[in-house]
């Protein structure tokens, strides 16, 4: 106990030393006087002492639970009481779908636009979840595929007047090709080296878009991009609502495909590659095809959403595709839970919607964001909803088979 108090006291003294010039000294340039605010120093010292003590206490408590074989209560409650309980699951899902369907009629156009952006990030998070969560390949340049899709539609529409519906599959195909192009040089890389190469790839794409002015229009960007034509004339508000419904439909399609892939042969190969690459190869899994398929599939969804983003905003430029976008998408996957489809959806909604509703704290939004991520990494590294592996209970299966045989013989 005494050692913990001593450590917290040292932390408190260190914080007081660091914040002394900012929190204590105030210079009045008009009257040429210095105001000493010693009360602020006391508040910093006391606050940092108690926070450090609480932090250390929670860390020890978390480690003690892990040593005792503590199971994730939140994820267990989610899967057992919500997903596994059909009486709760279906009404809740039906209610969520009803809210989403009637959302444009209940809220303003601004709210619909923000929700559309959140749904776009849901798809981007699910796409990156394939690469990072399923296959375990740390990709810091995911925004490059997003930019490829956006510029594909923008350039085709600007130069050749090609409609959104024709450009959408082309954007997905070019995104997949960009994923394969990135995948080939990094087949032998993993961990930090893979992250650095993918980061460099994302920056290369951004610099090409910014400097190749004759082709991409450079920093000026591309304006007056056509919105999708849904077969009938729509006002601006109607077009925004139509794009919202289209993105929501795309979210459902993405959830269906990623869920099916997770439990498929290629999905299990991705998980095996993530757990142990050497053992994966020893079991006969083709590492090259597995990695390239993960990059290609994840990049395909980014290409689709890039085209949707260009159609939604009607203007794009390289500033929309910086490293910060890749960091946000990766944060969605990490916060929600790597490999967890419900977790990624929840993480995207939290990280995209909350900053919009915290504009009253605009000066502290990034501070809150950084602090919450640090707390998540320390106390809940598995994410909000941990991914659940499918498992088979041999005893239950044997009992079921015996019961089926008895029923067959009796009939």
* Chain segment 134-185, per-residue pLDDT in tens: 999 989 999 999 999 999 999 999 999 999 999 999 999 999 999 999 888 8
Confidence of residue 79 (pLDDT cuts 50, 70, 90): low
Mean pLDDT within 34-54: 85
Confidence of residue 78 (pLDDT cuts 50, 70, 90): low
For the entire predicted model, the pTM comes to 0.82
Return the pLDDT at 64: 64
Q: What is the pLDDT of residues 201-255, one digit of tens each?
A: 999 999 999 999 899 999 999 999 999 988 777 788 889 999 999 999 999 999 9
pLDDT at 77 over 70: no
User: Which range is most confident: 26-40, 89-103, 118-132, 363-377?
Assistant: 118-132
pLDDT at 392 over 60: no
Confidence of residue 396 (pLDDT cuts 50, 70, 90): low
pLDDT at 73 over 60: no
Q: Report the percent of the chain where pLDDT is more than 90.
A: 42
DSSP state letters, 54-114? HHHHHHHHHHHHHHTT---HHHHHIIIIIIS-HHHHHHHHHHHHHHHHTHHHHS-HHHHHH
pLDDT at 394 over 60: no
Say how far apart CA 66 and CA 60 lie, in whole Å: 10
Return the pLDDT at 376: 77
Return the pLDDT at 276: 85
Say how far apart CA 282 and CA 38 lie, in whole Å: 65
Confidence of residue 87 (pLDDT cuts 50, 70, 90): confident
Strand partners, 34: 27
pLDDT at 398 over 90: no
Say how far apart CA 64 and CA 67 lie, in whole Å: 5
Return the pLDDT at 82: 66
Range from 189-203, 229-243, 328-342, 368-382 carrying the lowest mean pLDDT: 368-382
Say how far apart CA 362 and CA 128 lie, in whole Å: 28
Higher pLDDT, 331 or 402: 331
Mean pLDDT within 292-305: 94
Higher pLDDT, 57 or 285: 285
Say how far apart CA 201 and CA 183 lie, in whole Å: 11
Strand partners, 35: 26
The alpha carbon of 259 is separated from its chain's Cα centroid by a whole number of angstroms, namely: 16
Say how far apart CA 219 and CA 346 lie, in whole Å: 34
CATH architecture of 104-379: Orthogonal Bundle (1.10)
Mean pLDDT within 19-33: 80
Return the pLDDT at 279: 86
């Amino acid at each position: 106990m005494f050692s913990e108090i001593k450590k917290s006291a040292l932390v408190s003294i260190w914080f007081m030393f660091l914040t002394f010039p900012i929190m204590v000294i105030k210079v009045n340039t008009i009257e040429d006087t210095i105001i000493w605010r010693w009360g602020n120093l006391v508040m910093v010292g006391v606050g940092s002492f108690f926070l450090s003590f609480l932090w250390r206490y929670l860390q020890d408590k978390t480690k003690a639970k892990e040593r005792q074989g503590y199971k994730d209560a939140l994820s267990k409650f989610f899967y057992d009481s919500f997903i596994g309980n059909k009486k709760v699951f279906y009404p809740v899902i039906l209610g969520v779908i009803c809210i989403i369907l009637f959302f444009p009629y209940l809220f303003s156009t601004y709210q619909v636009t923000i929700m559309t952006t959140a749904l776009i990030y849901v798809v981007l998070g699910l796409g990156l979840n394939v690469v990072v969560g399923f296959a375990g390949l740390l990709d810091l340049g995911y925004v490059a595929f997003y930019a490829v899709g956006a510029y594909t539609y923008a350039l085709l529409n600007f130069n050749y007047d090609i409609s959104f519906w024709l450009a959408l599959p082309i954007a997905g195909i070019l995104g997949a090709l960009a994923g394969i192009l990135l995948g080939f040089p990094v087949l032998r890389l993993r961990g930090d080296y893979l992250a650095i190469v993918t980061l460099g790839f994302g920056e290369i794409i951004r610099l090409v878009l910014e400097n190749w002015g004759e082709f991409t229009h450079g920093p000026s960007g591309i304006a007056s991009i056509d919105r999708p034509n849904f077969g009938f004339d729509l006002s601006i508000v109607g077009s925004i609502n139509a794009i919202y419904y289209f993105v929501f439909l795309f979210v459902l399609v993405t959830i269906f495909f990623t869920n099916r892939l997770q439990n498929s042969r290629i999905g299990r190969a991705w998980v095996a590659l993530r757990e142990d690459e050497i053992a994966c190869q020893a079991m006969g899994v083709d590492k090259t095809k597995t990695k390239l398929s993960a990059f290609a599939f994840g990049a395909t969804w980014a290409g689709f959403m890039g085209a949707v983003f260009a159609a939604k905003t009607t203007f794009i430029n390289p500033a929309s595709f910086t490293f910060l976008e890749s960091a946000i998408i990766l944060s969605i996957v990490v916060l929600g839970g790597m490999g967890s489809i419900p977790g990624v959806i929840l993480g995207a909604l939290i990280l995209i919607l909350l900053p919009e509703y915290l504009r009253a704290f605009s000066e502290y939004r990034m501070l809150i964001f950084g602090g919450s991520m640090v707390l998540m990494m320390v106390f809940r590294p598995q994410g909000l909803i941990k991914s659940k592996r499918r498992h088979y209970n041999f005893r239950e299966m044997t009992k079921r088979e015996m019961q089926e045989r008895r029923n067959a013989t009796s009939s």
